[in-house]
Amino acid sequence: MKVGIIGSGIGALASAIELRKLGLSVTVFEANDIIGGKIVEQRIGDYRFDMGPSVFTEPHLVQELLQALDPQQTFPYHQLDESCRYFFNDGQQVNLPVHKDEVAQTLQTEFGEDKAAALHFLSQMEANYKAIYPVFIQISLHRLKHLLARPLLKALARLFQYGLHQTMHQQNRQIFKNSKTIQIVDRLATYNGSSPYLAPAMLNIISQLEFNEGPAMPVGGMVQITRRTQQLAAQFGVDFHTNERVLEILHQNNIINGLRTTKGNYEFDLVVSNMDIHYTYEQLMPTIKAPRHLLSQEKSSSAVVFYWGMNRSFEQLGVHNIFFASDYQAEFKAIFDTKTLHPDPTIYIHISSKVEQSDAPDGKENWFVMVNAPINVGQDWDNEIQLLRKRILAKLTKQLQVEIEDCIECEQINEPRLIDARYSGKQGSIYGNASNNAFSAFLRHPNFSKKIKGLYFAGVTVHPGGGIPLAINSAKIVARCVQEDYPSLRK
């Protein structure tokens, strides 16, 4: 059987590996000149930048993905000993370590939190995560046979532990007493482009990855995630086409029969779309009625990113750094309600050269400076980005006591319009739908089409959601669904 895959993000590459493992002939189509989707790199002057995702958790998933084709494969990475460094407008700076005991102790020392309460919260999030993972992340929520298994009973046994009636912020406000602690835990909602004031408390399980396990950094940078998977897939026979945009998903009598691209028509038995689910319907299947109740949900946030080559190093900064807004709730209202950039934005700085020293010249650093932004609804982005840059420079100059603009040797900018144009993220949204309501987990598009046989979906805009680990899991779900739909492929 022949499979055509649209896009080459990690969801697509993981799908290519999982389906090649089943013995299928796989071809990947990428509209851009580089394989990798958002997980690509760029060299600007003497600096190397990872252009997209910068937080890497659950590294074992990448290694397991590689070992699906070659059991001898390894995936080297640095395990970081702190999750993030936090800077507040009153001058307080906190370096937050990883692992429950150390995190709880730091929250007590720095913010006066009750250590036992903090430890209980982190342990509860660990238990919740382990219960939810096999039910909401590893399987399809849209096939009864996936749900009716022993893990469901374990997950249901903890039903009242998830805070289903609360938002993330409401739950965090009950547990912690210092507004700074609450802000630190609330910010995890941004990992899938949502607001902690709207997203369900269940998403606090991200604490398990951020605080208990802690982030890692691939040796060679984030780009190694897609580079290594692409190299292995190619080695095992997956065919890659770059600079070839898919224009249409071809089907007849509700059965897939191929793809039409800028270079011609191809026959396929199966198609996997890693493209934003909104654009998959709107651009590639305009005659198929889209599931409006799923696609009409509020979209995730976008981002404005400045890539700065800095002519000096900053000892007070780590790999991950956050400079918080004073009024966090107002910032999220700006992003989701008025679709504006808040005048006092939260600034995230990722510096891979802290562990990958070759990413910047000696004594210098590569700064990935990001602010969460609204989706593109026609704002005057040229003016907004110019104003945002001034605000970022002023805030960082005040906090770090260094004239930041004088340190910038080179610069490149990414923003919602470019995210839409290059990565087909509708209106610049990064994760498709946001998780800004209690039913968001159930309102993501399934990993298979209910209308067209042979059509499947992977990536951050479909189930189970945003982020590298979930995108990899979406590919595993696709492979399972394919085997169920085509019994001759079962092993």
Domains and CATH numbers, the chain: 2-39+61-70+223-296+436-489 (3.50.50.60), 99-213 (no CATH)
pLDDT of residue 160: 54
CA 14-358-319 angle, 5° bins: 70
Per-residue pLDDT tens digits for 6-17 = 999 999 999 999
Residue 460's nearest CA partner among 473, 479, 478 is 473
157 confidence band (pLDDT: 50, 70, 90)? low
CA 375-376-380 angle, 5° bins: 130
Average pLDDT over residues 115-130: 95
Q: Given the structure tokens 């958002």, which residue do they identify?
A: 38
335 confidence band (pLDDT: 50, 70, 90)? very high
- pTM for the model: 0.95
Per-residue pLDDT tens digits for 370-406 = 999 999 999 999 999 999 999 999 999 999 999 999 9
Comparison of pLDDT for 138 and 168, the residue scoring more: 168
CA 408-409-410 angle, 5° bins: 100
Average pLDDT over residues 346-368: 98
Strands 264-267 and 255-261: antiparallel
Percent of the chain with pLDDT over 90: 89
Around Cβ 287, how many Cβ atoms within 10 Å? 7
Per-residue pLDDT tens digits for 57-87 = 999 999 999 999 999 999 999 999 999 999 9
Comparison of pLDDT for 354 and 488, the residue scoring more: 354
Comparison of pLDDT for 142 and 19, the residue scoring more: 19
Query: CA separation (Å) from 73 to 64, 173, 231, 237?
Result: 9, 44, 12, 17
488 confidence band (pLDDT: 50, 70, 90)? confident
122 confidence band (pLDDT: 50, 70, 90)? very high
350 confidence band (pLDDT: 50, 70, 90)? very high
Per-residue pLDDT tens digits for 18-68 = 999 999 999 999 999 999 999 999 999 999 999 999 999 999 999 999 999
Whether pLDDT at 410 is above 70: yes
Average pLDDT over residues 321-349: 98
Average pLDDT over residues 191-197: 96
Whether pLDDT at 156 is above 80: no
Q: Is the dihedral of CA 384, 328, 407, 303 positive or negative?
A: negative
Percent of the chain with pLDDT over 70: 96
Q: How far apart are CA 240 and CA 229, in angstroms?
A: 12
Average pLDDT over residues 413-431: 96
159 confidence band (pLDDT: 50, 70, 90)? low
- Where is average pLDDT lowest: 237-251, 283-297, 314-328, 449-463? 283-297
Q: Is the N-terminal amide bond of 464 cis, ω within 30° of 0? A: yes
* DSSP bridge partners of 87: 93, 323
Q: What residue type is assigned to position 8 of the chain? A: S
Q: What is the mean pLDDT of the chain?
A: 95
Query: CA separation (Å) from 252 to 256, 271, 451, 453?
Result: 7, 13, 11, 10
pLDDT of residue 442: 75
Task: Give 60-65's long-range contacts (Cβ < 8 A, gap of 24+).
Answer: 61/468, 61/469, 61/472, 61/473, 62/218, 62/225, 62/228, 62/229, 62/468, 62/472, 65/14, 65/17, 65/18, 65/229, 65/472
Q: What residue type is assigned to position 12 of the chain? A: A
